[in-house]
Structure 1
């Protein structure tokens, strides 16, 4: 049991660091954006992140190092290892297998100690009839309304209740209706979805 907990800890810690504080605005079915946002997902390591590779009972092989722009890190005895795009748990398994040629009964833990890549790899965007269309770094807990307000609000030509949230899970893109007028005028937060990295909010102009 102790070994299993040690293996799970890196993923749990990194996930909490990235997505702590994310909550949905309402109770939604599983295929709705709020339900998806509430799920904790494994953080994937990116360039400039600082990772700590801890080899149990072998401090001379343990290392704390930044991820290079090419996504690689250097580990004693192993050499270059691809960290970019992997979760801490996946990276720990790769390093553990490589070290198995040199160290018996090795056990590796990887922790992301500094999250530096998500500021430019994980962004949200708002386009269309807003004062300042923008792309900004994702912050845990952001909602559709937060993003629209960051853009200076809507223009006089906007059609608020025809707005859309576009979200991709890497396999398919989903579209969700956003009724901004209901949110602002009536306080109806049903479609004030909690955002995820990569989300795009589009506010169309009125049809004249």
Structure 2
């Protein structure tokens, strides 16, 4: 009697696992950190510079029209046309005259110079359709909240995120109602520059 019950339990568990797998939603590829690292800084981009163990040397500044930023101790440093890693290496080299073994990180906190490519757009049944600057770490929920949230006509669980990779554009299902009202974050994807989030209206 024990064996049939065990067999039945195993079959049930396998069936439940298959159902769960079938209900899984495809996730978009993670935003490429390499792409951000290779991004050529432009005029008006906001750059954050940090120096390990020397917080007083940290700055967050826009790139000036002449393409430079001013860094404590070393003065003006060219940033426009260079990648964050290249700017960090230049600052490290200049800081060696003042700081032992400087370790510098340069992060883009607001990409303003490449207006279209560096923005995230939220359209459809939201209170205020919006095009907002991309920030590292931004998620679908961040973008939708910046648009004022969904309106009374929305079908939030049928939302989609559209991402262009190369010559192809892919769409990914976003369960926005579950994110907002249930705290289910499986589809609260990290967004990438150029993403479009669309919230459809429900049928009447």
| Residues in 1 aligned to 2:38 and 2:193: alpha-carbon distance in whole angstroms | 11
User: Structure 1, unaligned stretches of length 5 or more?
Assistant: 1-28, 53-62, 68-82, 90-110
Give 4+ residue runs of structure 1 displaced > 6 Å after superposition: 86-89, 111-114
Give secondary structure in 2 for the equivalent of 1:119. coil
Partner of 1:65: 78
Counterparts in 2 of 1:153 and 1:137: CA distance versus 1, 3 Å: same
Pairwise CA RMSD: 3.3
| Residues in 2 aligned to 1:119 and 1:37: alpha-carbon distance in whole angstroms | 18
| Native 8 Å contact 1:44 1:88 kept in 2 | no
User: Where does 1:49-198 land on structure 2 (aligned, <5 Å)?
Assistant: 50=67, 64-65=77-78, 67=80, 83=81, 115=108, 118-121=111-114, 122-198=118-194
Partner of 1:45: 40
Partner of 1:19: none
| Residues in 1 aligned to 2:113 and 2:156: alpha-carbon distance in whole angstroms | 28
Measure how far apart 1:172 and its partner are. 1.0
| Residues in 2 aligned to 1:197 and 1:138: alpha-carbon distance in whole angstroms | 6
The 10-residue stretch of structure 1 (147-156 or 115-124) with the greater mean CA deviation from structure 2? 115-124
| Residues in 2 aligned to 1:202 and 1:184: alpha-carbon distance in whole angstroms | 16
Aligned length: 132
Partner of 2:30: 36
Give secondary structure in 2 for the equivalent of 1:135. strand
Specify the structure having the higher radius of gyration (Cα): 2
TM-score normalised by the chain length of structure 1: 0.53
Measure how far apart 1:171 and its partner are. 2.0
Measure how far apart 1:36 and its partner are. 1.9
TM-score normalised by the chain length of structure 2: 0.54
Counterparts in 2 of 1:146 and 1:113: CA distance versus 1, 3 Å: closer
